[in-house]
Chain A
């Protein structure tokens, strides 16, 4: 006959086992949801970029976000970022189109991720139509449930 104490002990053990298992499952599903949200965010950024909407593109960054060009020329903060995008969208990239494909996501913390994105910019007057291809590397932070760019680097090869 099992004593009341061991029954209670068993109940506690079962409860703990289930709650650990369900919190593990929760973490995995949060991560899946964040991965999906990040991919959606990258797609939204490409849409804003392809609409040549400098304001909308800059709004994908946190207030004090950092951008660095293929030549490592920096822009810091939303105002400079919007100016940068206004310049490129009205000059050498005014007929350009970007295709961004997420290559990998590495979570540095639950609300912090590094994302590598294969990048292809086409432009009608470029040789073979391809102006640039390379890799974008973004550090994203989740703010009030929304993933945003903290740091943007790009390399062309």
Chain B
């Protein structure tokens, strides 16, 4: 005959097993949702870039976001970033089109992630207006989550 104390203990352990199971399942599903949201953030940025909308491109960054070019030239903060994108969209990249494809995401905390993105570009010109060869390389972003929205904190790009 099972004592009532044992019954209570059994009930508690069954309850704990079932209530902790969703918590376990929750973690990967949150990460999946965040991975999907980060991919969406990359796609929206790519779209803004391809519309040559400097304001929308810069608005994907946090207020004090940092960009570094393929030659390590920095732009920092919304105002500088928008000025940078304005300049490239009205000069040597005015007919350029890019394709970005997320290669990997590594979560550093639940709200900070490093994202590697393969990029390709067609239609670029040299600074003196001649056709430039197609370019490809890797974007490396640090993205952070603010009020549910993933944004670019640090942007690096390499070309190879």
A residues adjacent to B (C-beta < 8 A): 66, 68, 70-72, 106, 108-109, 112, 114, 116, 118, 134-135, 137, 139, 141, 150-151, 153-157
Contacts and interface: CB of A to CB of B under 8 A. Distances in A.
B97 interface: no
A116 B158 CA distance: 14
How many chain B residues sit at the interface, stated as a range, is: 20 to 34
10 contacts: A68-B138, A68-B140, A106-B154, A135-B72, A139-B114, A151-B106, A155-B70, A155-B156, A155-B158, A155-B159
B153 A108 contact: yes
A85 B118 CA distance: 24
B71 interface: yes
B71 to A, nearest CB: 5
B68 interface: yes
Contact of A116 (B68, B106, B112, B137): B68
A7 to B, nearest CB: 44
Interface of B: 66, 68, 70-72, 103, 106, 108-109, 112, 114, 116, 118, 137-138, 140, 142, 144, 153-154, 156-160
B53 to A, nearest CB: 26
Contacts of B144: 108
A157 B160 CA distance: 9
Given A68-B140, A112-B109, A114-B142, 19 more contacts: A68-B138, A72-B103, A72-B116, A72-B118, A72-B137, A72-B160, A106-B153, A108-B144, A108-B153, A109-B109, A112-B112, A150-B106, A151-B114, A153-B140, A153-B158, A155-B157, A155-B158, A155-B159, A157-B71
Contacts of B153: 106, 108
A84 B70 CA distance: 25
B108 A70 contact: no
Given A70-B160, A135-B72, A141 B138 contact: no
Contacts of B137: 72
Given A134-B72, A135-B72, A139-B142, A153 B156 contact: yes
A149 to B, nearest CB: 12
Contact of A112 (B68, B103, B108, B138): B108
- In order of increasing CB-CB distance, the 3 nearest A-B pairs are A155-B158, A72-B138, A135-B72
Nearest to A66: B106
Nearest to A103: B72
B19 to A, nearest CB: 30
A141 B71 contact: no
Contacts of A154: 158
B108 A139 contact: yes
Nearest to B109: A109
Given A139-B142, A155-B72, A157-B71, A70 B106 contact: no
A106 B66 contact: yes
Contact of B108 (A72, A106, A137, A141): A141
